[in-house]
Structure 1
Amino acid sequence: MATTPRRFTFLLLDRFTMLPFAATLDALRLANKMSGRRIYDWRLVGQDGDFAICSNGSRMALDGGLGDEIAVTRDEVVIVCGGDDITAQATRPVLAWLRRQARAGATLGAVCTGSHVLAKAGLLDGRRATIHWENHDSFSETFPNVNLHRQVFVDDGSRLTAGGGTSSIDMMLHLIGKAHGADLASQIADQMLHTAIRNDRDRQRLSIATRIGIRHPRLATVVERIEANLETPVSPSQLAADAGMSTRQLERLFMRYLNRSPKRYYLEARLARARHLLLNTDLSLIEIAIACGFASSSHFSKCYRERYGTSPYRERGVQKALPALEWGVLALAS
């Protein structure tokens, strides 16, 4: 058992999400409290040394910046806390700093979208990792060399990743339990009112049936297959045949429970994925079109405009301008 506190360094990227950061940090605080001694220590750093702004607009005071001389030991854990507009946060200073910590032998982790930054630095190549389900598609398109999973967290030795939200609690309870025993982890979970500790085999999202509010098993199976085959769409007749029903039966089920045809549901699911890739990656329109099962960028643009009332090109331009506008408002307010 360690005799000196193990230190965690939290890299707070601008617009980081509060919940996964707070959950991670508080698990360490409670570990100290419940064990009756200081087994963990921590510090907060950011690209600038004064403070980091959370996605909810609050400010978090930092202990130092990346330009400061921050000694990192082999036993240290560096956690990248990501959030909104993550591609803009993967700056050269941030990537260079993370690579230095990797060379120093530190364990590197990430919560929420922080996995994107570790991957951008090349520190997840050939590794197992996870990221928030909303960013899963864009991540897999951008970083094909990462073995991406949909679990709540992934422990790949010197690389730790959690999907965000309360999954950070599960990752920390896992780490604390490995180092100091399951009893301490259970006590911490009890303090946090975290009544069901998840492991690294639990998936992030609710079941299909729960998410779309249906209890028809064959319909849920068809919807699950649709979501798994957005890049290479399966015809309604094939979906129906594989589910053991006629195309007409499938159409009636979709209209009754989802108020749309299977073809329309499939198209909307592909467009939703395309919109996420459009707003969260730098992939070209043709790359996005192909990734979402469209034969051409012109067909993709036509369907996109009919669904969202604007062109993909225009929406990407507007959304990229919004963060700058938001920061301008924050600057004026401060």
Structure 2
Amino acid sequence: MPDARKIVFTVITIFVVPLLFFVLFEFSLKVAGVGTSFDYFHKIDIDGQAHFQENPDFADQFYPAALNIGPRENTFAVERNPELIRVYILGGSAAMGFPYRNHGIDRLLETQLRAALPARKIEVINMAMTSVNSHVVYAVARSIPDNSADFAVILMGNNEVVGPYGPGTLNQSFLGNITLIRGIQALKRTRLWQALDRLIMQFKPSDAMQDLEWEGMQMFTNNGVSHDDPRMESVYGHFEDNLNDIIETLRDKGIHVLLSSVPVNLRHSAPFLSVHGPGLSEKQLDQWGELNSQASASFDNDNWTEAVARFQAALEIDPNYADTHFRLATAFENLGE
């Protein structure tokens, strides 16, 4: 029978000692000012009163800092007046109000709440960011202080493909395992990881990714993802898992959660990108191109019946081309069908 003391000693040697060394080393790096905090809020003092201020570096754990993706840097008091109703808005560009932030959901909601509850103080904090998906919003939810708001409105879903770890993202590889994604992000938040990354960058040739500037959705046109891409199953699964965990996390922090459907004008918004189906021959692509050109000419001249016939013929060659479906639907709409 194995000696119990030897087993305990072995466990301590293999697991406990390295863990303690890592914790102490991590703490030393933090004290020395190495790396940065990726907490969503910093706590600052203004005239002797504690305030929360959004961390402008928060999203740098997901995107190159050069893209300047981050929260608005809202600042508000930690202590809450009993008469105050505080609401957080979490999500992506749609929730943020991009590109016209003054028309974001936070201002509309705050105005409506003040009209409905004139006797109460209302504070709506928009914590949404451009181009983020549920992986980022989950990290935001985990970092929110307990009992710091009454309600949280979650409005997300547009960026699951192009956001971090999605199949159409621009700066990471797609990952299908959500546990692995969260593990990588936990490592990225450590000062040790940041120190090693900085050291590697000093000896590594300049990376164009570090000099990117935000150019909107056109940045993702080289990473097209079709509707039947097998990776989409993981995308849907990640969204569901993250959403459930976000709700549970916020509720555990004493915050009531409201879910909002993402408003999308499918009727008048053309596809961001159209991709030809696989296996088309050069001859088929030429035939499709000719039909598409004829259909487009008819479309531009408001000859809707002819446009419908030619777009339908083009779809018989390539039934996967998204823009053909959109323009066909527009032609049908103009015919009153």
State the TM-score bracket (shorter-chain normalisation). Answer: under 0.3
The structure with higher relative contact order (CA 8 Å, sep 6+) is 2
**How high is the TM-score relative to the length of structure 1?**
0.27
- Asked which structure has the greater CA Rg, the reply is 2
**How high is the TM-score relative to the length of structure 2?**
0.27
